[in-house]
Structure 1
Amino acid sequence: MIALRALEPDDLDFLYDLENDRDIWGVSDTLAPVSQHALREYLEHASADFYLVRQLRQVVYTEINGLPVGVVDLFDYDPLHQRAGVGITILATERRRGYAQQALELLKKYAREVLRLHQIYATVEHTNGASMRLFRAADFRRVGIRRDWLRTPGGWADAVEWQCLL
């Protein structure tokens, strides 16, 4: 079982490893390594009000040992339409254990019951089969395709749009 929690100053090393994993840069719009200094500054402001900064990051951790295994993000919060984008990253060493699906279900509940969002959405590169299966299993509906939307090392890739009404 996993749970979600707020970011803590002690998460610096975990975030440093996660943010500097080049294998996930393509799905996180990252082009360069992130310094510990930049992450330390980020952690100092990470507790800012969701409604003010319009984003929220929570740590996914195992309840057995309390170790972080990933993060979930809500971003681009739109207060008028009560929606936000969703991102999820699980450490490469912790994938294929069901953590992403559990975390997404917890995030959906939090978004619905605490933040009172009407919907959440995700953009997934069409070749990312694991993410496509994840969002389908989490009752997201595939609502469209954006052609040549994402620039990848191999050229341009289509993006699949997913939506979940809460």
Structure 2
Amino acid sequence: MMLLCGKKINLRALEPEDLEFLYQIENNESFWEVSHTQTPFSKYLLKQYLENAHLDIYESKQLRLLIEEKSTKKQIGMIDLFDFNPQHKRAGIGILIHPNYQQQGFASEALSLLINYTFSYLHLHQLFANITTDNKNSISLFTKHNFKKVGIKKDWIFSEGIFKDEILFQLIK
């Protein structure tokens, strides 16, 4: 699908051969705060997830796409739509880039591709993102793509023994 192909990356559906990458990402404790995870995932459970990843976004209310470096076909991250609501034409968006590939423009290109896909193909009216106030890289990324800060959820995330505020960002078409 051309909508999901960029200059340096492609966004693609998850495949069975992505199991090892998914296992590494989902079990990396440094990502648990943003994914709201508290326990590790087994390969068995992730394999079942991959077997059901083909479900339509209208059925599952979510979509996870793998971010793949175009030239090497290397898995470098994931981008998600969650809380998809076709009635109100909105969805949440989250992105994760493996630390070895951060600060190279991959997240920006992935976000741009997904915004275009959601507005032109899924006909959404808005996207939202929830970002802790200390996540400066994500705040910069989403504001660069015209997401606007619309509110702060106080003491919303409890992580490493402290409460953190979370900013709600919206992008309205």
User: After superposition, what is the alpha-carbon deviation per residue over 1:93-120, rounded to whole angstroms, capped at 9, x for unaligned?
Assistant: 1111111111000000111111111111
Q: Give me the whole-angstrom Cα distance separating, in 2, the residues matched to 1:38 and 1:97.
A: 32
The alpha carbon displacement at 1:92 in A equals 1.0
Residue 31 of structure 2 is aligned to residue 2 of structure 1 = no
The alpha carbon displacement at 1:5 in A equals 0.5
Partner of 1:70: 77
Partner of 2:22: 15
Partner of 2:153: 146
Q: TM-score, normalised by structure 2?
A: 0.94
Identity %: 41
The alpha carbon displacement at 1:165 in A equals 1.2
Partner of 2:105: 98
User: After superposition, what is the alpha-carbon deviation per residue over 1:27-82, rounded to whole angstroms, capped at 9, x for unaligned?
Assistant: 11011111100100000000101001100000001110111100000000112110
SS at match of 1:12: helix
Report the count of equivalent residues: 166
Partner of 1:28: 35
Q: Give me the whole-angstrom Cα distance separating, in 1, the residues matched to 2:21 and 2:88.
A: 34
The alpha carbon displacement at 1:23 in A equals 0.7
SS at match of 1:66: coil
> What is the RMSD of the two structures over their aligned residues, measured on CA atoms?
0.7
SS at match of 1:96: coil
User: After superposition, what is the alpha-carbon deviation per residue over 1:128-162, rounded to whole angstroms, capped at 9, x for unaligned?
Assistant: 10111010111111111111111111311100010
Q: Give me the whole-angstrom Cα distance separating, in 2, the residues matched to 1:20 and 1:106.
A: 27
Partner of 2:44: 37
Q: Which runs of 4+ in 1 moved over 6 A?
A: none
Query: Which amino acid in 1 is paired with 2:169?
Result: W
Query: Which amino acid in 2 is paired with 1:155?
Result: I
Q: Give me the whole-angstrom Cα distance separating, in 1, the residues matched to 2:171 and 2:161.
A: 30
Q: Give me the whole-angstrom Cα distance separating, in 1, the residues matched to 2:113 and 2:166.
A: 25
Q: Give me the whole-angstrom Cα distance separating, in 1, the residues matched to 2:24 and 2:34.
A: 16
